[in-house]
Protein backbone atom coordinates (compact mmCIF):
# COMPACT_ATOMS: atom_id res chain seq x y z
CA UNK A 1 0.00 0.00 0.00
CA UNK A 2 1.13 3.57 -0.60
CA UNK A 3 1.50 5.65 2.55
CA UNK A 4 2.98 8.89 1.33
CA UNK A 5 2.17 12.57 1.46
CA UNK A 6 4.10 15.52 0.06
CA UNK A 7 4.63 18.30 2.59
CA UNK A 8 5.77 21.65 1.24
CA UNK A 9 6.76 25.00 2.77
CA UNK A 10 8.00 27.39 0.05
CA UNK A 11 10.06 29.59 2.38
CA UNK A 12 11.83 26.74 4.16
CA UNK A 13 12.17 24.80 0.92
CA UNK A 14 13.77 27.75 -0.86
CA UNK A 15 16.26 28.27 1.95
CA UNK A 16 17.15 24.61 2.16
CA UNK A 17 17.34 24.33 -1.62
CA UNK A 18 19.77 27.24 -1.80
CA UNK A 19 21.96 25.88 1.00
CA UNK A 20 22.11 22.16 0.31
CA UNK A 21 20.18 21.44 -2.86
CA UNK A 22 17.55 18.82 -3.56
CA UNK A 23 19.84 15.81 -3.71
CA UNK A 24 21.43 16.27 -0.25
CA UNK A 25 17.95 16.86 1.20
CA UNK A 26 16.78 13.57 -0.26
CA UNK A 27 19.78 11.82 1.25
CA UNK A 28 19.14 13.46 4.61
CA UNK A 29 15.54 12.27 4.85
CA UNK A 30 15.93 9.03 2.91
CA UNK A 31 12.94 10.01 0.77
CA UNK A 32 12.23 11.45 -2.67
CA UNK A 33 13.03 15.11 -3.19
CA UNK A 34 12.50 17.03 -6.44
CA UNK A 35 11.89 20.45 -7.92
CA UNK A 36 8.16 20.46 -8.65
CA UNK A 37 6.56 22.60 -11.30
CA UNK A 38 3.35 20.55 -11.58
CA UNK A 39 1.39 19.56 -8.44
CA UNK A 40 1.73 15.81 -7.76
CA UNK A 41 -1.48 13.80 -7.62
CA UNK A 42 -3.49 14.44 -4.49
CA UNK A 43 -2.10 17.94 -3.83
CA UNK A 44 -3.69 21.30 -4.38
CA UNK A 45 -1.86 23.77 -6.53
CA UNK A 46 -1.38 26.13 -3.59
CA UNK A 47 0.39 23.39 -1.64
CA UNK A 48 2.66 22.53 -4.50
CA UNK A 49 3.90 25.92 -5.72
CA UNK A 50 7.68 26.01 -6.03
CA UNK A 51 10.32 24.70 -3.65
CA UNK A 52 11.50 21.24 -2.71
CA UNK A 53 9.01 18.38 -2.22
CA UNK A 54 9.77 16.10 0.72
CA UNK A 55 7.81 12.85 0.90
CA UNK A 56 6.79 11.81 4.42
CA UNK A 57 4.64 8.83 5.44
CA UNK A 58 0.85 8.96 5.36
CA UNK A 59 -0.65 6.56 7.93
CA UNK A 60 -4.30 7.18 7.06
CA UNK A 61 -4.73 3.96 5.06
CA UNK A 62 -3.18 1.94 7.86
CA UNK A 63 -5.42 3.53 10.50
CA UNK A 64 -8.54 2.88 8.43
CA UNK A 65 -7.56 -0.74 7.78
CA UNK A 66 -6.41 -1.82 11.25
CA UNK A 67 -7.85 0.79 13.60
CA UNK A 68 -11.09 -1.22 14.06
CA UNK A 69 -9.03 -4.04 15.62
CA UNK A 70 -7.74 -1.75 18.39
CA UNK A 71 -9.88 -1.71 21.54
CA UNK A 72 -10.24 0.39 24.66
CA UNK A 73 -10.17 -1.41 28.00
CA UNK A 74 -11.80 -0.03 31.12
CA UNK A 75 -11.16 -1.81 34.42
CA UNK A 76 -12.56 -1.56 37.93
CA UNK A 77 -10.44 -2.51 40.92
CA UNK A 78 -11.54 -3.42 44.40
CA UNK A 79 -8.83 -1.41 46.17
CA UNK A 80 -6.14 1.14 45.28
CA UNK A 81 -3.24 -1.20 46.08
CA UNK A 82 -2.64 -2.21 42.48
CA UNK A 83 -2.54 1.37 41.24
CA UNK A 84 -0.47 2.61 44.14
CA UNK A 85 2.11 -0.12 43.62
CA UNK A 86 1.45 -0.79 39.95
CA UNK A 87 4.95 0.09 38.78
CA UNK A 88 7.58 -2.62 39.14
CA UNK A 89 10.16 0.18 39.29
CA UNK A 90 9.00 1.81 42.52
CA UNK A 91 7.17 5.11 42.99
CA UNK A 92 10.21 7.33 42.49
CA UNK A 93 11.36 5.87 39.18
CA UNK A 94 10.85 7.98 36.04
CA UNK A 95 9.29 4.86 34.50
CA UNK A 96 6.63 4.69 37.23
CA UNK A 97 4.09 7.27 35.93
CA UNK A 98 3.15 5.15 32.92
CA UNK A 99 1.83 2.50 35.28
CA UNK A 100 -0.33 4.96 37.19
CA UNK A 101 -3.43 4.45 35.04
CA UNK A 102 -5.60 5.07 38.06
CA UNK A 103 -6.38 8.02 40.34
CA UNK A 104 -4.62 8.48 43.65
CA UNK A 105 -5.45 5.88 46.33
CA UNK A 106 -8.94 6.33 47.69
CA UNK A 107 -11.66 4.36 49.41
CA UNK A 108 -13.96 2.15 47.37
CA UNK A 109 -13.66 0.89 43.77
CA UNK A 110 -11.36 2.70 41.37
CA UNK A 111 -11.32 2.79 37.59
CA UNK A 112 -8.59 2.82 35.00
CA UNK A 113 -8.20 2.65 31.23
CA UNK A 114 -5.83 1.03 28.80
CA UNK A 115 -5.72 -0.32 25.27
CA UNK A 116 -5.50 -3.65 23.51
CA UNK A 117 -5.82 -5.25 20.07
CA UNK A 118 -7.69 -8.22 18.65
CA UNK A 119 -5.50 -11.09 17.43
CA UNK A 120 -8.23 -13.64 16.70
CA UNK A 121 -11.70 -13.03 15.22
CA UNK A 122 -13.35 -14.92 18.11
CA UNK A 123 -12.48 -12.15 20.56
CA UNK A 124 -8.94 -12.94 21.76
CA UNK A 125 -7.20 -9.69 22.75
CA UNK A 126 -3.63 -8.83 23.69
CA UNK A 127 -2.87 -6.11 26.24
CA UNK A 128 -0.47 -5.33 29.09
CA UNK A 129 -0.54 -7.31 32.31
CA UNK A 130 -0.50 -4.09 34.32
CA UNK A 131 -3.70 -2.93 32.59
CA UNK A 132 -5.87 -5.84 33.80
CA UNK A 133 -4.01 -7.24 36.83
CA UNK A 134 -6.16 -6.97 39.94
CA UNK A 135 -9.27 -5.96 38.01
CA UNK A 136 -12.65 -7.10 39.34
CA UNK A 137 -14.43 -6.04 36.14
CA UNK A 138 -13.13 -5.51 32.61
CA UNK A 139 -15.10 -3.72 29.91
CA UNK A 140 -13.84 -3.82 26.32
CA UNK A 141 -15.10 -1.25 23.83
CA UNK A 142 -14.65 -1.65 20.08
CA UNK A 143 -14.24 1.27 17.70
CA UNK A 144 -17.86 0.81 16.58
CA UNK A 145 -18.79 1.51 20.24
CA UNK A 146 -19.99 -2.01 21.03
CA UNK A 147 -19.07 -3.04 24.57
CA UNK A 148 -18.30 -6.48 25.99
CA UNK A 149 -17.28 -7.88 29.34
CA UNK A 150 -13.71 -9.14 29.21
CA UNK A 151 -12.37 -12.29 30.85
CA UNK A 152 -8.69 -12.70 31.65
CA UNK A 153 -7.28 -15.84 30.02
CA UNK A 154 -3.80 -15.38 31.44
CA UNK A 155 -1.38 -12.83 32.86
CA UNK A 156 2.42 -12.89 32.70
CA UNK A 157 3.88 -10.04 34.71
CA UNK A 158 7.45 -11.03 33.86
CA UNK A 159 6.85 -9.82 30.29
CA UNK A 160 3.88 -7.52 31.12
CA UNK A 161 1.67 -9.41 28.65
CA UNK A 162 -1.94 -10.46 29.23
CA UNK A 163 -4.60 -12.18 27.14
CA UNK A 164 -8.26 -11.15 27.46
CA UNK A 165 -11.28 -12.82 25.81
CA UNK A 166 -14.66 -11.33 24.89
CA UNK A 167 -17.76 -13.21 23.73
CA UNK A 168 -17.87 -12.12 20.09
CA UNK A 169 -17.13 -13.51 16.63
CA UNK A 170 -16.14 -12.28 13.18
CA UNK A 171 -14.18 -9.40 14.66
CA UNK A 172 -11.52 -7.41 12.78
CA UNK A 173 -7.97 -8.48 13.64
CA UNK A 174 -4.50 -7.01 13.33
CA UNK A 175 -1.75 -8.43 11.15
CA UNK A 176 1.10 -9.80 13.30
CA UNK A 177 4.58 -8.90 12.05
CA UNK A 178 8.15 -9.93 12.88
CA UNK A 179 9.82 -7.61 15.38
CA UNK A 180 13.23 -9.14 14.60
CA UNK A 181 13.10 -7.42 11.21
CA UNK A 182 12.49 -3.99 12.69
CA UNK A 183 15.33 -1.54 12.09
CA UNK A 184 16.36 1.59 13.95
CA UNK A 185 15.14 4.64 12.05
CA UNK A 186 12.01 3.03 10.60
CA UNK A 187 8.66 4.77 10.98
CA UNK A 188 6.14 3.24 13.39
CA UNK A 189 2.58 4.08 14.45
CA UNK A 190 0.76 3.65 17.76
CA UNK A 191 -3.02 3.49 18.16
CA UNK A 192 -4.63 3.58 21.58
CA UNK A 193 -6.50 5.61 24.17
CA UNK A 194 -4.06 8.08 25.79
CA UNK A 195 -5.71 9.71 28.80
CA UNK A 196 -8.90 7.91 27.75
CA UNK A 197 -8.99 9.62 24.33
CA UNK A 198 -10.02 6.56 22.31
CA UNK A 199 -8.74 5.74 18.82
CA UNK A 200 -5.84 8.20 18.92
CA UNK A 201 -2.99 7.65 16.45
CA UNK A 202 0.58 8.90 17.02
CA UNK A 203 3.71 8.24 14.99
CA UNK A 204 7.49 8.38 15.24
CA UNK A 205 10.58 6.30 14.53
CA UNK A 206 12.36 3.40 16.17
CA UNK A 207 15.07 4.96 18.35
CA UNK A 208 16.80 1.77 19.53
CA UNK A 209 16.29 -1.97 19.94
CA UNK A 210 17.07 -4.42 22.70
CA UNK A 211 16.71 -1.96 25.60
CA UNK A 212 16.80 -3.62 29.02
CA UNK A 213 14.91 -1.68 31.68
CA UNK A 214 15.11 -1.91 35.49
CA UNK A 215 13.60 -5.12 36.91
CA UNK A 216 12.81 -6.39 33.41
CA UNK A 217 15.56 -8.82 32.44
CA UNK A 218 13.59 -10.92 29.96
CA UNK A 219 12.20 -8.33 27.51
CA UNK A 220 14.45 -6.59 24.95
CA UNK A 221 12.28 -3.48 24.57
CA UNK A 222 11.84 -1.48 21.38
CA UNK A 223 12.57 2.18 22.08
CA UNK A 224 10.73 4.76 19.99
CA UNK A 225 10.00 8.49 19.99
CA UNK A 226 6.30 7.83 19.36
CA UNK A 227 4.19 10.02 21.70
CA UNK A 228 2.82 7.50 24.21
CA UNK A 229 0.89 8.41 27.36
CA UNK A 230 -1.05 6.69 30.15
CA UNK A 231 -3.95 4.88 28.50
CA UNK A 232 -1.81 3.79 25.53
CA UNK A 233 -0.75 0.82 27.67
CA UNK A 234 -1.41 -2.42 25.82
CA UNK A 235 -2.01 -0.83 22.43
CA UNK A 236 -0.30 -1.95 19.21
CA UNK A 237 2.81 -0.54 17.55
CA UNK A 238 2.58 -0.86 13.75
CA UNK A 239 5.27 -0.79 11.09
CA UNK A 240 4.69 0.84 7.70
CA UNK A 241 3.38 -2.43 6.26
CA UNK A 242 0.50 -2.38 8.74
CA UNK A 243 1.95 -5.20 10.84
CA UNK A 244 2.02 -5.14 14.64
CA UNK A 245 5.64 -5.22 15.78
CA UNK A 246 5.17 -4.36 19.47
CA UNK A 247 2.90 -3.72 22.44
CA UNK A 248 3.23 -0.22 23.90
CA UNK A 249 4.16 -0.78 27.51
CA UNK A 250 6.21 1.91 29.21
CA UNK A 251 7.44 5.48 28.99
CA UNK A 252 10.29 7.32 30.63
CA UNK A 253 8.76 10.34 32.33
CA UNK A 254 9.29 12.72 35.22
CA UNK A 255 5.91 14.36 34.73
CA UNK A 256 3.60 11.41 34.06
CA UNK A 257 3.30 12.34 30.38
CA UNK A 258 5.30 11.79 27.22
CA UNK A 259 8.89 13.09 27.26
CA UNK A 260 10.35 11.57 24.11
CA UNK A 261 11.12 7.99 25.19
CA UNK A 262 8.61 5.18 24.77
CA UNK A 263 9.14 1.44 25.11
CA UNK A 264 7.28 -1.43 23.48
CA UNK A 265 7.38 -5.19 24.02
CA UNK A 266 8.56 -6.88 20.78
CA UNK A 267 5.65 -8.77 19.25
CA UNK A 268 7.77 -11.93 18.87
CA UNK A 269 8.21 -12.00 22.64
CA UNK A 270 4.57 -11.13 23.26
CA UNK A 271 3.19 -13.83 20.95
CA UNK A 272 5.49 -16.47 22.46
CA UNK A 273 3.98 -15.60 25.83
CA UNK A 274 0.42 -15.27 24.50
CA UNK A 275 0.46 -18.67 22.81
CA UNK A 276 1.39 -20.30 26.12
CA UNK A 277 -1.19 -18.32 28.10
CA UNK A 278 -3.92 -19.33 25.65
CA UNK A 279 -2.87 -22.98 25.68
CA UNK A 280 -2.13 -23.51 29.38
CA UNK A 281 -2.85 -20.30 31.30
CA UNK A 282 0.77 -19.88 32.36
CA UNK A 283 4.25 -19.39 30.89
CA UNK A 284 7.25 -21.71 31.16
CA UNK A 285 10.77 -20.38 30.74
CA UNK A 286 14.16 -22.01 30.67
CA UNK A 287 16.77 -21.32 33.33
CA UNK A 288 20.51 -21.98 33.62
CA UNK A 289 20.93 -21.06 37.28
CA UNK A 290 23.74 -18.53 36.99
CA UNK A 291 24.31 -14.88 37.79
CA UNK A 292 26.08 -12.82 35.18
CA UNK A 293 27.57 -9.39 34.61
CA UNK A 294 28.65 -7.35 31.58
CA UNK A 295 32.15 -7.62 30.13
CA UNK A 296 33.89 -4.27 29.79
CA UNK A 297 37.24 -3.60 28.15
CA UNK A 298 39.16 -4.10 31.38
CA UNK A 299 37.59 -7.52 32.00
CA UNK A 300 38.09 -8.49 28.35
CA UNK A 301 41.79 -7.66 28.64
CA UNK A 302 42.04 -9.61 31.89
CA UNK A 303 40.46 -12.74 30.40
CA UNK A 304 42.25 -12.41 27.06
CA UNK A 305 39.03 -11.88 25.09
CA UNK A 306 39.53 -10.32 21.66
CA UNK A 307 36.51 -8.04 22.26
CA UNK A 308 34.46 -6.93 25.30
CA UNK A 309 31.48 -9.21 24.62
CA UNK A 310 29.51 -12.05 26.17
CA UNK A 311 28.18 -12.64 29.67
CA UNK A 312 30.61 -13.12 32.55
CA UNK A 313 29.46 -15.77 35.05
CA UNK A 314 29.81 -14.31 38.55
CA UNK A 315 28.24 -17.24 40.43
CA UNK A 316 26.64 -20.62 39.78
CA UNK A 317 23.70 -21.88 41.82
CA UNK A 318 24.30 -25.20 43.59
CA UNK A 319 22.43 -28.04 41.90
CA UNK A 320 21.61 -25.89 38.87
CA UNK A 321 21.75 -26.96 35.20
CA UNK A 322 24.81 -24.75 34.81
CA UNK A 323 26.65 -26.56 37.61
CA UNK A 324 25.71 -29.92 36.10
CA UNK A 325 27.15 -28.76 32.77
CA UNK A 326 30.43 -27.76 34.41
CA UNK A 327 30.08 -24.00 34.07
CA UNK A 328 32.26 -22.11 36.54
CA UNK A 329 32.48 -18.57 37.91
CA UNK A 330 34.83 -16.66 35.63
CA UNK A 331 33.58 -18.32 32.46
CA UNK A 332 32.39 -15.93 29.75
CA UNK A 333 29.47 -17.24 27.72
CA UNK A 334 30.01 -15.90 24.20
CA UNK A 335 27.44 -17.90 22.20
CA UNK A 336 24.26 -19.94 22.69
CA UNK A 337 23.40 -22.54 20.07
CA UNK A 338 25.87 -20.87 17.73
CA UNK A 339 24.33 -17.40 18.08
CA UNK A 340 26.71 -14.76 19.40
CA UNK A 341 26.07 -13.19 22.81
CA UNK A 342 27.12 -9.60 22.16
CA UNK A 343 26.29 -8.32 25.65
CA UNK A 344 25.18 -9.86 28.91
CA UNK A 345 21.55 -8.78 28.45
CA UNK A 346 21.19 -11.10 25.47
CA UNK A 347 21.68 -14.29 27.48
CA UNK A 348 18.73 -14.23 29.92
CA UNK A 349 16.36 -13.22 27.10
CA UNK A 350 17.44 -16.13 24.89
CA UNK A 351 17.50 -18.70 27.68
CA UNK A 352 14.07 -17.62 28.93
CA UNK A 353 12.62 -18.02 25.43
CA UNK A 354 13.46 -21.74 25.49
CA UNK A 355 11.42 -24.43 27.20
CA UNK A 356 12.62 -26.24 30.33
CA UNK A 357 14.29 -29.48 29.34
CA UNK A 358 15.82 -27.99 26.19
CA UNK A 359 19.45 -28.84 25.53
CA UNK A 360 21.62 -25.85 24.66
CA UNK A 361 25.13 -25.66 23.26
CA UNK A 362 27.07 -22.97 25.13
CA UNK A 363 30.32 -21.56 23.80
CA UNK A 364 32.36 -20.31 26.75
CA UNK A 365 35.67 -18.54 27.07
CA UNK A 366 37.89 -20.10 29.73
CA UNK A 367 41.66 -19.88 30.19
CA UNK A 368 42.10 -17.79 27.03
CA UNK A 369 40.38 -20.36 24.81
CA UNK A 370 36.92 -21.36 23.58
CA UNK A 371 35.19 -24.39 25.05
CA UNK A 372 31.80 -25.97 24.26
CA UNK A 373 29.46 -27.39 26.88
CA UNK A 374 25.96 -28.85 26.67
CA UNK A 375 23.42 -27.84 29.33
CA UNK A 376 19.86 -29.04 29.90
CA UNK A 377 17.74 -26.09 30.98
CA UNK A 378 15.72 -26.11 34.16
CA UNK A 379 12.47 -24.27 34.81
CA UNK A 380 12.53 -20.63 35.82
CA UNK A 381 10.76 -19.89 39.06
CA UNK A 382 12.70 -21.93 41.58
CA UNK A 383 14.27 -18.76 42.95
CA UNK A 384 11.12 -16.65 42.92
CA UNK A 385 9.11 -15.98 46.06
CA UNK A 386 5.59 -16.05 44.65
CA UNK A 387 2.10 -16.98 45.71
CA UNK A 388 1.17 -20.49 44.58
CA UNK A 389 -1.02 -20.47 41.51
CA UNK A 390 -0.77 -16.70 41.07
CA UNK A 391 0.49 -14.80 38.07
CA UNK A 392 2.66 -12.64 40.30
CA UNK A 393 5.15 -10.12 38.97
CA UNK A 394 8.86 -10.88 39.30
CA UNK A 395 9.55 -11.31 42.99
CA UNK A 396 5.99 -12.36 43.78
CA UNK A 397 4.11 -11.21 46.88
CA UNK A 398 7.11 -9.52 48.51
CA UNK A 399 8.94 -8.32 45.42
CA UNK A 400 12.05 -10.37 46.25
CA UNK A 401 14.19 -12.58 44.04
CA UNK A 402 16.53 -14.64 46.22
CA UNK A 403 18.85 -17.63 46.16
CA UNK A 404 20.40 -19.82 48.83
CA UNK A 405 23.80 -18.88 50.18
CA UNK A 406 26.67 -21.20 49.31
CA UNK A 407 28.70 -22.71 52.22
CA UNK A 408 31.57 -20.33 51.40
CA UNK A 409 29.22 -17.33 51.47
CA UNK A 410 27.75 -18.47 54.80
CA UNK A 411 31.23 -18.70 56.27
CA UNK A 412 32.23 -15.33 54.85
CA UNK A 413 29.09 -13.64 56.18
CA UNK A 414 29.16 -15.58 59.47
CA UNK A 415 25.65 -16.96 59.00
CA UNK A 416 23.95 -20.34 59.26
CA UNK A 417 21.60 -20.62 56.31
CA UNK A 418 19.99 -17.53 54.87
CA UNK A 419 19.11 -16.44 51.34
CA UNK A 420 20.68 -13.54 49.50
CA UNK A 421 18.58 -10.91 47.75
CA UNK A 422 19.27 -10.79 44.00
CA UNK A 423 16.42 -8.53 42.92
CA UNK A 424 13.94 -6.29 44.72
CA UNK A 425 10.77 -4.42 43.80
CA UNK A 426 7.31 -3.68 45.16
CA UNK A 427 6.71 -4.00 48.94
CA UNK A 428 10.25 -5.16 49.70
CA UNK A 429 11.75 -2.19 47.90
CA UNK A 430 9.34 0.16 49.68
CA UNK A 431 10.47 -1.35 52.99
CA UNK A 432 14.11 -0.49 52.20
CA UNK A 433 15.47 -3.95 51.37
CA UNK A 434 18.32 -3.87 48.86
CA UNK A 435 20.11 -6.36 46.58
CA UNK A 436 22.90 -8.03 48.57
CA UNK A 437 20.91 -8.12 51.81
CA UNK A 438 20.66 -11.54 53.47
CA UNK A 439 17.29 -12.80 54.74
CA UNK A 440 17.92 -14.93 57.83
CA UNK A 441 14.37 -15.58 59.04
CA UNK A 442 10.72 -14.85 58.31
CA UNK A 443 8.32 -14.38 61.24
CA UNK A 444 10.93 -15.99 63.48
CA UNK A 445 11.37 -19.13 61.36
CA UNK A 446 14.93 -19.66 60.01
CA UNK A 447 15.25 -19.40 56.23
CA UNK A 448 17.84 -21.33 54.22
CA UNK A 449 16.12 -21.76 50.84
CA UNK A 450 13.78 -19.76 48.60
CA UNK A 451 11.11 -22.43 49.21
CA UNK A 452 11.26 -21.88 52.99
CA UNK A 453 10.82 -18.15 52.50
CA UNK A 454 7.92 -18.73 50.12
CA UNK A 455 6.27 -21.02 52.67
CA UNK A 456 6.58 -18.43 55.44
CA UNK A 457 5.16 -15.73 53.18
CA UNK A 458 2.22 -17.94 52.21
CA UNK A 459 1.28 -18.31 55.89
CA UNK A 460 1.53 -14.57 56.57
CA UNK A 461 -1.36 -12.15 56.66
CA UNK A 462 -0.78 -8.47 56.12
CA UNK A 463 2.92 -8.33 56.92
CA UNK A 464 5.89 -10.64 57.33
CA UNK A 465 8.80 -9.77 59.67
CA UNK A 466 12.11 -10.45 57.91
CA UNK A 467 15.40 -10.57 59.80
CA UNK A 468 17.83 -8.84 57.45
CA UNK A 469 21.62 -8.86 57.65
CA UNK A 470 23.46 -6.08 55.87
CA UNK A 471 27.16 -6.08 56.44
CA UNK A 472 27.68 -6.67 60.15
CA UNK A 473 24.27 -5.34 61.17
CA UNK A 474 21.00 -7.21 61.64
CA UNK A 475 17.51 -5.74 61.84
CA UNK A 476 13.91 -6.91 61.58
CA UNK A 477 12.03 -5.31 58.70
CA UNK A 478 8.23 -5.58 58.34
CA UNK A 479 7.19 -6.06 54.71
CA UNK A 480 3.63 -5.90 53.43
CA UNK A 481 2.33 -9.07 51.79
CA UNK A 482 0.40 -8.52 48.56
CA dist 451 → 92, 319, 447, 458, 464 (Å):
31, 15, 9, 10, 15
DSSP assignment string, 390-446: --PPTTTTTTEEEEEPPHHHHHHHT-SS-EEEEEE-HHHHHTT--TT-EEEEETTEE
What is the distance between the alpha carbons of residues 256 and 262, in angstroms, rounded to a whole number?
12
What is the distance between the alpha carbons of residues 482 and 463, in angstroms, rounded to a whole number?
9
Q: Determine which one of 200, 207, 233, 441 is catalytic.
A: 233
Verify whether residue 233 is a known catalytic residue. Answer: yes
Contact 205, 222 (CB under 8 A): no
Verify whether residue 81 is a known catalytic residue. Answer: no
Q: Determine which one of 83, 115, 160, 320 is catalytic.
A: 160
State which H helix or E strand residue 165 sits in: strand 161-165
Contact 249, 211 (CB under 8 A): no
What is the distance between the alpha carbons of residues 292 and 387, in angstroms, rounded to a whole number?
27
Angle formed at CA 44 by CA 41 and CA 50, multiple of 5 degrees: 95
Cα dihedral value 129, 134, 136, 142, nearest 10 = -20
Beta carbons within 8 Å of 1's beta carbon, 6+ residues apart: 61, 62, 65, 242
Alpha helix segments (H runs only) across 247-406:
267-280, 297-303, 321-324, 346-352
Closest by Cα among 16, 12, 3, 7 to 47: 7
Q: Determine which one of 83, 115, 130, 249 is catalytic.
A: 130
CA dist 441 → 420, 421, 426, 457, 482 (Å):
12, 13, 20, 11, 19
| Residue 277 phi, psi dihedral angles, 5° rounding | -65, -40
Query: Helices 10-19 and 22-29 meet at what angle, rounded to 10?
Result: 100
Report CA torsion sign: 434, 439, 442, 444: negative
Cα dihedral value 267, 272, 278, 283, nearest 10 = -130
The catalytic site residues sit at: 130, 160, 233
Amino acid sequence: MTMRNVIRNPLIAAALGALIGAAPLAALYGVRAAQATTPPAGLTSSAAQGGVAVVLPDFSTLVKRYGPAVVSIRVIEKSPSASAQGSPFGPNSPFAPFFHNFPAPQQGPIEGEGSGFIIRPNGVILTNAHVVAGATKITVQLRDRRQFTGKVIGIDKVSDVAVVKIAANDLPTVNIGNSNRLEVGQWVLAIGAPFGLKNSATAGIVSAKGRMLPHSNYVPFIQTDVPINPGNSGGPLFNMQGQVVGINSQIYSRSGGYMGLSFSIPINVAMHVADQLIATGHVRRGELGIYIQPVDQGLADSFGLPEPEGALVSSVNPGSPAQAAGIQPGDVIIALNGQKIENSNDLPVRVASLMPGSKVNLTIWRNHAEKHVIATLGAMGNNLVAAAGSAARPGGRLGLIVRALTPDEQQQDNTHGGVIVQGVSGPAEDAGIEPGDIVLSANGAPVSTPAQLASAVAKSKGHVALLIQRGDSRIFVPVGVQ
